[in-house]
């Protein structure tokens, strides 16, 4: 792991990467130094323990943890570190991610674990939330985030213009 990384993305299985790659994409877009690795709470508990206990010493400021099924990884890492853990429930085959979501969101009081939506939207928002936190004392990053959001808003308004044009055409057809 690069000592300059400020965000770690961890996942319980390599198959979770299909979801967590969306968090990675946001971090790349915002040029946030990060690392990414598979750490299983069930299959590699010693690795999970060592990672969580040493992350702060390595300069990690935020951890994005994705897991499916029983989804113990985010909560277990939260229990082992004071670094904020942003949890992403990965969609499971059996229960479509509801099991993952409930496993993460029901952390007992005293072990905070921020939990996001199931799947791609959750991974995207976890990365954006990490950027919001990092931007608290970084004006350049805050401006970049503001610009990014403004561009998305403008794109949404373009969609409104398209819908309005369709409505006008439809009205002309019904009148004529």
Q: Are 95 and 66 in contact (CB under 8 A)?
A: no
Binding residue numbers: 13, 16, 43
Binding residue numbers for substrate: 13, 16, 43
DSSP, residue by residue, the chain: --TT--EEEEESSGGGHHHHHHHHHHHHHTT--EEEEE--TTT-HHHHHHHHHHTGGGT--EEEEEE-TT--HHHHHHHH-SS-EEEEEPPPTTTTTHHHHHHHHTPPTTS--EE--SSHHHHHHHHHHHHHHHGGG-HHHHHHHHHHHHHHHHHHHHHHHHHHHHHHHHHHHHH-
């Amino acid at each position: 792991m690069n000592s300059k990384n400020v965000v770690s993305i961890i996942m319980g299985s390599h198959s979770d990467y299909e979801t967590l790659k969306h968090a990675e994409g946001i971090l790349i877009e915002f040029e946030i130094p990060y690392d990414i690795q598979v750490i299983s709470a069930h299959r590699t508990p010693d690795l999970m323990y060592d990672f969580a206990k040493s992350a702060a010493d390595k300069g990690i400021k935020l951890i994005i943890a994705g897991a499916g099924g029983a989804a113990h990884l985010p909560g277990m890492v939260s229990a082992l570190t004071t670094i904020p853990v942003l949890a992403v429930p990965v969609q499971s085959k059996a229960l479509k991610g509801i099991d993952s979501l409930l496993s993460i969101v029901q952390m007992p009081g005293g072990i905070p674990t921020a939990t996001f939506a199931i799947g791609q939207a959750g991974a995207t928002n976890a990365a954006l939330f990490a950027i919001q936190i990092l931007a608290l004392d970084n004006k350049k990053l805050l401006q970049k985030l503001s610009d990014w959001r403004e561009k998305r808003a403008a794109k949404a308004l373009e969609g409104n213009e398209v819908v309005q044009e369709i409505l006008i055409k439809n009205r002309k057809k019904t009148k004529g």
